[in-house]
């Protein structure tokens, strides 16, 4: 999709995972901010302190070290505010990305960091000085329970 956006000279790419259902006005809501990378909010299940919890797939910086640092999940005051926030990283289940960013960043994955391709994308944004944002008024349904596969199993088998 990145190559099509660049080849056809589109202005933006909206990434949506197959299990993420955005609000009807998703494009208008994300475009209104005039940002190069802006995500919508969705929740999923992660292990936090060895306990499975529903958490936002959005992380904020606790501290910055160079272009990266330590991150934390968005807290309830943040994700329920309906505001726009600077973002450390998010899942790419709902992200609007400008052509300008796509010209600079190739989507990639390698296993040198315990993360998927979405974390690499946000890592590269920060490395290049591109500040991503999240619009917490854009809340997507996330039907992760209905996936016909298990990410943990795919990763364990080395297929990711």
Q: Is 25 helix (H, G, I), strand (E, B) or coil?
A: coil
CA atoms of 160 and 154, how far apart (whole Å)? 6
- Each residue of 42-60: pLDDT tens digit? 998 877 888 888 889 899 9
Question: For the chain, what is the largest distance between any 2 Cα atoms, rounded to a whole number of angstroms?
Answer: 46
User: Nearest to residue 6, comparing CAs of 106, 87, 80?
Assistant: 106
pTM: 0.86
User: Nearest to residue 28, comparing CAs of 18, 17, 38?
Assistant: 38
- Each residue of 59-77: pLDDT tens digit? 999 998 877 889 999 999 9
- The per-residue pLDDT of the chain, averaged, comes to 86
User: Nearest to residue 43, comparing CAs of 151, 143, 120, 123?
Assistant: 143
pLDDT for the residue numbered 147: 54
Domain 2-153 sits in CATH 3.40.50.150: no
> What DSSP line would sit under 68-80, residue for residue?
EEEEEEPPHHHHT
- Each residue of 80-113: pLDDT tens digit? 999 999 999 998 889 999 999 999 999 887 766 6
pLDDT for the residue numbered 153: 62
Please indicate whether residue 160 or residue 41 has the higher confidence score (pLDDT).
Answer: 41
CA atoms of 132 and 129, how far apart (whole Å)? 10
pLDDT for the residue numbered 159: 56
Q: Under a CB-based contact definition with an 8 Å cutoff, are residues 42 and 94 in contact?
A: yes
Please indicate whether residue 115 or residue 7 has the higher confidence score (pLDDT).
Answer: 7
pLDDT for the residue numbered 140: 93
């Amino acid at each position: 999709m990145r190559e099509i956006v660049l080849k056809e000279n589109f202005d933006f790419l909206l990434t949506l995972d197959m299990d993420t259902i955005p609000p009807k006005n998703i494009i208008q809501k994300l475009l209104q901010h005039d940002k190069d990378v802006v995500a919508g909010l969705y929740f999923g299940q992660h292990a936090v302190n060895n306990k499975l919890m529903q958490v936002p797939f959005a992380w904020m910086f606790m501290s910055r070290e160079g272009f990266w640092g330590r991150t934390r999940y968005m807290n309830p005051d943040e994700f329920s505010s309906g505001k726009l926030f600077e973002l450390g990283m998010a899942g790419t289940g709902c992200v609007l990305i400008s052509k300008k960013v796509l010209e600079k960043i190739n989507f990639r994955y390698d296993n040198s960091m315990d993360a998927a391709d979405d974390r690499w994308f946000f890592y590269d944004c920060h490395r290049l000085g591109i500040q991503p944002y999240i619009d917490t008024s854009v809340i997507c349904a996330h039907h992760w329970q209905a996936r016909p596969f298990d990410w943990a199993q795919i990763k364990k088998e080395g297929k990711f």
